[in-house]
Amino acid sequence: MTRLSFTKLSRYETCPLSYKLHYLDRLKSEPGVPLLFGSAVHAVLEGLVLEHMREERVGALSGDRAAELWQEAWTKSGMSGLDVFREGLDLVHRFVREQGILEHHDVLAVEKEFRLTIGGFQVIGYLDRVDRVDDETVEVIDYKTNRQLFTREETDASLQMSLYHLAAQELWPWAKKVRLTFWMLRHGLRQTTERSAEDIEGTRRYVDTLGTTIAKAREFPARLNSNCIYCDHRQHCPAYADALQGKREFICEDTGDLEAVAKEREEVARLAKVLYARKGELEGVLKTALKEHDELVLGGVRYTMFK
């Protein structure tokens, strides 16, 4: 039986070429700071809650212990920079405050593995945390270190959360209701959603269809989008290199031809997303440098930080 995961499905959805480079060509990739940071924060929260469960505590989590675990996770991660260290420390302390009182018996699982059979595929994954809400309800909690909140539409349509619903149903069949929560750690918010029986049936069919599409794929086109700057294989992507140079495949020569106008407009829009994201990435580097200098003069342009 072919194995899938949300990560595999999501990578193919986002960009077939990225999927090919990662899973078929098996190119080595170096995780960026966002991924390293997120993994380190997850390790701290996992450790905090697990210790709470094992010692059968009732009460608040320990801020001092959170700091110790962050130092350990930071050392293992290979990250550097005081700003990033402080950001993570603030984040785990904030989590402790927001969690408040936690009764150990209310936590059903931490980093729980699941295996779902969908069509001819086995979908494997892990649940960050699952809490018992009441005798009929469980809550699946997924920690996120995203800088941007999800829209309501994104939350309600999340394939990740739909798979988590299926997993919770199989692992805790007594639960008549499954609450699905993205805990947005940077924002101090919990974005919650639910799934209907119709939603879940649609998810099963979609995963089976997408899995079959991936298995049969022979061509893996690049799909330019604003997330290209985070792709661990962008240096091996000709489409991304061309986008940064502003290269276009199609230019409308007759503005009276609306089909041609629309075609060029969509191509320009895709390029604009990539270039705007790249601009933001470069600005981030300059802002970091400006924290150590009052101003920078580079290439004849003066950069300063507004206060």
Q: In this structure, what CATH number is given to the domain that contains residue 110? A: 3.90.320
Residue that terminates a domain, selected from 194, 214, 234: 214
- Does 186 lie in the same domain as 249? no
Tokens of 277: 């994201």
Fill in the amino acid letter for 32.
Answer: G
Phi and psi for 271 in degrees, rounded to 5? -65, -40
Parent domain of 197: 2-214
- Does 57 lie in the same domain as 78? yes
- Does 172 lie in the same domain as 292? no
- Does 192 lie in the same domain as 137? yes
- Does 68 lie in the same domain as 42? yes
- Does 173 lie in the same domain as 265? no
- Does 173 lie in the same domain as 24? yes
- Does 188 lie in the same domain as 124? yes
Is residue 180 in a domain?
yes
- Does 58 lie in the same domain as 145? yes
Write 77-80 long-range contacts (CB < 8 A, 24+).
Answer: 77/36, 77/37, 77/39, 77/40, 78/36, 79/33, 79/36, 79/37, 79/40
Query: Total structural domains in the chain?
Result: 2
pLDDT tens for each residue of the chain, 307 residues long: 799 999 999 999 999 999 999 999 999 887 888 899 999 999 999 999 999 999 999 999 999 999 999 999 999 999 998 999 999 999 999 999 999 999 999 999 999 999 999 999 999 999 999 999 999 999 999 999 998 899 999 999 999 999 999 999 999 999 999 999 999 999 999 999 999 999 999 999 999 999 999 999 999 999 988 888 888 898 898 988 888 877 777 777 777 778 877 776 877 777 777 777 778 777 777 787 777 777 787 877 887 876 5
Asked if residue 116 lies in contact with residue 166, where contact means CB atoms within 8 angstroms, the answer is yes
- Does 195 lie in the same domain as 168? yes
Asked if residue 191 lies in contact with residue 154, where contact means CB atoms within 8 angstroms, the answer is no
Is residue 292 in a domain?
yes
- Does 244 lie in the same domain as 183? no
End-to-end CA distance of the chain: 58
Residue that terminates a domain, selected from 186, 214, 242: 214
- Does 237 lie in the same domain as 128? no
